[in-house]
């Protein structure tokens, strides 16, 4: 059996001693779990542990619950250890091996004659799993829109207070790769589902805090809820600019909160009316943009562009594979800037496998809110070292005038010298569409800002709840998606920007898929938004990687501040050597999709590398105040 390696203690013992002299004991109590070892914790999220933790199968085709899960000393620790041992032996001095324990909050509730109550036996089994495993853990307090599945979910879904509401009313239960998706509301914490989540977290915290302090030492971090964001219909495919613009949250309480947000921002209606060019006489009159099916005033209009920004985006293969493409954007013949390139377009890679990569997307965001009303021409060019500018596409758009404003014709202008892109250069300009109408509504920008704050407020509510227990001694992380790696996504549908900003007592936890995991988009964003320490809550590059490439990726993240990385992985045990239907995004030797089997072998090779990660610089310290 492989014992987890805790390497290089001397250097960090010295650093820890210095830190103890520099800061208070209370601060070090929170920060030390992230600083006491200069290693990256590889912490797979091991699937199918729920039957073991809950004492019953959750799907009809699941195998029987193993004997090690049953009885007074039953736990999931043996399943975790056999899975991690299959990855070992650990020889890499820059890594630690651990696991992410997904704790399905709603599934820890059971129906009793008196109503829903805590399944104390399951809670104790979660705690025993942490106690009995020899490996360090990330504890994932899991409860978001993805099904657990838990019996209480169907009952909670019957109460409209628990469901996010679009302009059309409460969202229906959705589907995500064949599993139910529950559109739980996050616009308010005064909901039954919030109270149930609180109930379980308090019980779990109490159970852990009653154990000896050595148990807390095994917990390297706690991630909150899972991906928490605003929602929209058809979640699996509706995140782009062409879907019907229905977003959350339009509940009565959310509307009242938006009115309070505006009142706090502008203090008097005169200032608000001047800013948004409206004529409100009472704060209670104000409705969120889009609330009316047939807007009667400009401040009620809402679409994907109403906040004043429009993407220019598309995809192109690289002319020079050694260099990322450079794409210049012009408006009415005037240079605006260079698009971000190398973004992920998995759809293009699957349609054109001959490209050999999904990192062909590009995007530039134009702020049109101050443009003159009327038509404008947008042009995109690929910069080529030999041929100069190659024209990729041109679009006419029209900025809709506000009431009383004149519309001017398309101005005369001269485009830069260029040539048409050759037929051999595969490319396409997706947005904007030809003759796209762009109408700026200042209230829409405020509405999206408010929706962002709703997401942050909901996460912060649970941060404070966890901090009211002994779990406050462990570093807390969010568990958020990264909406900027696909140029065809509309980030405002999710409204997570505000929740990605680091707080003094809450670290960033981020899920990185495809290009975001190893490409430029996340690292470019990270440089613009310094995070200090962060965790990668889900990881899959959606392609095969050899061991050197994977090692380099882990090295980049570690040097940028990552302290743990989690990926989905199936149980490996004596009676589970082959997984017939592995999870689609699981890194597993039996999963051929997205090169997952090769990724699994590469991860084993990296873990076994005695010389460590390649070119790994000194780890960063937490830069947050």
Q: What is the mean pLDDT of the chain?
A: 90
For residue 243, name the pLDDT band (cuts at 50, 70, 90): confident
Residue 422 near residue 406, CB atoms below 8 Å: no
pLDDT tens-place string over residues 534-546 = 999 999 999 999 9
Given this model, what pLDDT does residue 164 score? Answer: 97
Does residue 24 have a pLDDT over 50? Answer: no
Rounded-to-integer distance, Cα 514 and Cα 599, Å: 13
Q: How many Cβ atoms sit within 10 Å of the Cβ of residue 214?
A: 8
Cβ-Cβ contacts under 8 Å for 161 (sequence gap 6 or more): 185, 191, 192, 251
Rounded-to-integer distance, Cα 347 and Cα 582, Å: 22
Given this model, what pLDDT does residue 9 score? Answer: 32
Given this model, what pLDDT does residue 61 score? Answer: 66
Given this model, what pLDDT does residue 507 score? Answer: 96
Given this model, what pLDDT does residue 103 score? Answer: 98
pLDDT tens-place string over residues 552-575 = 999 999 999 999 999 999 998 877
Q: Which backbone phi and psi does 3 adopt, to 5 degrees?
A: -95, 135
Q: How many Cβ atoms sit within 10 Å of the Cβ of residue 609?
A: 18
Rounded-to-integer distance, Cα 171 and Cα 181, Å: 11
For residue 331, name the pLDDT band (cuts at 50, 70, 90): very high
Rounded-to-integer distance, Cα 443 and Cα 288, Å: 8
For the segment 412-426, the average pLDDT, to the nearest whole number, is: 95
- Cis bond upstream, residue 335 (ω within 30): no
For residue 583, name the pLDDT band (cuts at 50, 70, 90): confident
Residue 74 near residue 56, CB atoms below 8 Å: no
Rg of the chain taking only CA atoms, in angstroms = 26
pLDDT tens-place string over residues 466-509 = 999 999 999 999 999 999 999 999 999 999 999 999 888 999 99
- What does the DSSP 8-state code read for residue 617? -
Cβ-Cβ contacts under 8 Å for 353 (sequence gap 6 or more): none
For residue 577, name the pLDDT band (cuts at 50, 70, 90): low
Q: Who has greater pLDDT, 37 or 278? A: 278
Q: How far is CA 552 from CA 446, 514, 602, 606, 611, in A?
A: 41, 16, 12, 10, 13
SS3 content of the chain, % helix, strand, coil (to 5): 35, 25, 45
Does residue 87 have a pLDDT over 80? Answer: yes
Q: Who has greater pLDDT, 280 or 620? A: 280
Q: How far is CA 57 from CA 69, 522, 568, in A?
A: 12, 38, 19
- Helical ranges in 42-106 per DSSP H: 50-54, 77-87
Rounded-to-integer distance, Cα 608 and Cα 574, Å: 22
Q: Who has greater pLDDT, 67 or 135? A: 135
Least confident of 360-369, 419-428, 564-573, 611-620: 611-620
Given this model, what pLDDT does residue 251 score? Answer: 96
223: β partners? 140, 477
CATH topology of domain 39-232+455-607: TIM Barrel (3.20.20)
pLDDT tens-place string over residues 26-51 = 333 344 444 455 799 999 999 889 99
pLDDT tens-place string over residues 137-193 = 999 999 999 998 899 999 999 999 999 999 999 999 999 988 899 999 999 999 999
Rounded-to-integer distance, Cα 287 and Cα 197, Å: 30
Does residue 8 have a pLDDT over 50? Answer: no
SS (H, E, C) 346-380: HHHHHHCHHHCCCCCEEEEEEECCCCCCEEEEEEE
pLDDT tens-place string over residues 502-532 = 888 999 999 999 999 999 999 999 999 988 8
Q: Report domain extents, the chain.
A: 39-232+455-607, 309-438
Does residue 458 have a pLDDT over 90? Answer: yes
Given this model, what pLDDT does residue 576 score? Answer: 67
Does residue 231 have a pLDDT over 50? Answer: yes
For the segment 424-441, the average pLDDT, to the nearest whole number, is: 97
Strands (E), 232-317: 309-316
Rounded-to-integer distance, Cα 362 and Cα 315, Å: 6
Rounded-to-integer distance, Cα 19 and Cα 32, Å: 9
Pairing of strands 109-112, 115-118: antiparallel
Q: Which backbone phi and psi does 427 adopt, to 5 degrees?
A: -165, 165
Given this model, what pLDDT does residue 624 score? Answer: 46
First vs last C-alpha separation in the chain: 42
What is the crossing angle of helices 269-276 and 442-467, to 10°?
A: 120
Buried b or exposed e, range 267-300, using 16+ CB within 10 angstroms: eebeebeeebbbebeebeebbbbbbeeeeeebbb
- What does the DSSP 8-state code read for residue 113? T
DSSP annotation string for 74-89:
--SHHHHHHHHHHH--
Pairing of strands 388-399, 374-384: antiparallel
Rounded-to-integer distance, Cα 185 and Cα 246, Å: 15
Rounded-to-integer distance, Cα 238 and Cα 255, Å: 24
Residue 209 near residue 469, CB atoms below 8 Å: yes
For the segment 95-112, the average pLDDT, to the nearest whole number, is: 97
Rounded-to-integer distance, Cα 327 and Cα 338, Å: 5
Least confident of 17-26, 453-462, 474-483: 17-26
Rounded-to-integer distance, Cα 545 and Cα 541, Å: 8
Rounded-to-integer distance, Cα 480 and Cα 223, Å: 10
Q: Who has greater pLDDT, 622 or 489? A: 489
For residue 7, name the pLDDT band (cuts at 50, 70, 90): very low
Rounded-to-integer distance, Cα 193 and Cα 156, Å: 7
Buried b or exposed e, range 504-514, using 16+ CB within 10 angstroms: eebbbbbbbbb
Q: What's the pTM?
A: 0.91
């Amino acid at each position: 059996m492989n014992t987890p390696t805790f390497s290089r203690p001397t250097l960090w013992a010295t650093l820890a001693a210095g830190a103890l002299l520099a800061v208070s004991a209370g601060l070090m109590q929170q920060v030390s779990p992230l600083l006491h070892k200069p290693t990256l914790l590889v912490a797979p999220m091991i699937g199918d542990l729920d039957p073991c933790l809950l004492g019953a199968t959750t799907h009809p085709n699941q195998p029987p619950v193993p004997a090690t899960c049953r009885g007074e000393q039953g736990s999931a620790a043996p399943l975790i250890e056999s899975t991690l041992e299959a990855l070992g032996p650990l020889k890499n001095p820059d890594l630690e091996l651990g696991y992410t324990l997904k704790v399905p909050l709603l599934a820890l509730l059971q129906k009793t004659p008196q109503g829903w109550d805590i399944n104390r036996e399951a809670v104790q089994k979660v705690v025993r799993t942490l106690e009995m495993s020899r490996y360090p853990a990330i504890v994932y307090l899991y409860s978001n829109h993805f099904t657990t599945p838990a019996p209480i979910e169907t009952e909670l879904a019957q109460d409209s207070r628990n469901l996010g509401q679009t302009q059309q009313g409460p969202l229906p239960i959705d589907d995500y790769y064949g599993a139910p998706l529950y559109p739980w509301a996050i616009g308010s914490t005064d909901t039954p589902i919030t109270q149930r989540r609180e109930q379980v977290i308090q019980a779990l915290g109490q159970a852990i805090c009653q154990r000896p302090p050595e148990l807390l030492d095994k917990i390297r971090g706690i991630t909150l809820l899972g991906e928490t964001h605003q929602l929209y219909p058809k979640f699996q495919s509706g995140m782009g600019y062409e879907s019907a613009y229905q977003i959350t949250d339009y509940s009565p309480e959310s509307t009242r909160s938006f009115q309070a947000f505006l009142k706090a921002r502008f203090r008097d209606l005169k200032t608000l009316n001047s800013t948004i060019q409206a004529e409100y006489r009472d704060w209670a009159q104000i409705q969120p943009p889009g609330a009316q099916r047939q807007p009667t005033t400009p401040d009620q209009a809402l679409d994907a562009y109403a906040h004043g920004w429009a993407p220019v985006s598309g995809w192109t293969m690289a002319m020079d594979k050694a260099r990322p493409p450079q794409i210049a954007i012009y408006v009415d013949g005037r240079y605006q800037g260079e698009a971000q390139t190398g973004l992920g377009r998995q759809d293009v890679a699957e349609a054109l496998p001959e490209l050999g990569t999904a990192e062909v997307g590009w995007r530039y965001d134009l702020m049109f809110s101050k443009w003159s009303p009327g038509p404008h021409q947008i042009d995109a060019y690929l910069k080529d070292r030999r041929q100069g500018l190659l024209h990729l596409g041109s679009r006419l758009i029209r900025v809709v005038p506000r009431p009383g404003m004149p519309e001017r014709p398309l101005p005369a202008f001269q485009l830069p010298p260029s040539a048409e892109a050759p037929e051999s250069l595969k490319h396409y300009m997706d947005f904007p569409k030809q003759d796209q109408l762009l109408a700026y509504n200042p209230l829409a920008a405020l509405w999206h800002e408010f929706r962002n704050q709703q997401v942050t407020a909901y996460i912060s509510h649970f941060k404070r709840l966890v901090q009211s227990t002994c779990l406050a001694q462990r570093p807390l992380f969010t568990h958020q998606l990264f909406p900027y790696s696909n140029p065809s996504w509309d980030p405002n549908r999710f409204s997570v920007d505000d929740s990605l900003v680091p707080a003094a007592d809450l670290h960033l936890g981020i899920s990185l898929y495809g290009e975001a995991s190893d490409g430029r988009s996340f690292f470019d964003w990270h440089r613009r938004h310094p995070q200090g320490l962060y965790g990668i809550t889900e990881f899959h590059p959606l392609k095969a990687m050899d061991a050197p490439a994977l090692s380099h990726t882990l090295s980049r993240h570690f040097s940028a501040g990552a302290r743990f990385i989690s990926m989905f992985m199936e149980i490996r045990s004596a009676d589970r050597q082959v997984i017939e239907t592995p999870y689609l995004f699981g890194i597993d030797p039996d999963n051929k999709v997205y090169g997952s089997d090769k990724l699994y072998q590469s991860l084993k090779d990296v873990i076994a590398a005695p010389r460590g990660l390649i070119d790994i610089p000194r780890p960063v310290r937490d830069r947050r105040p």
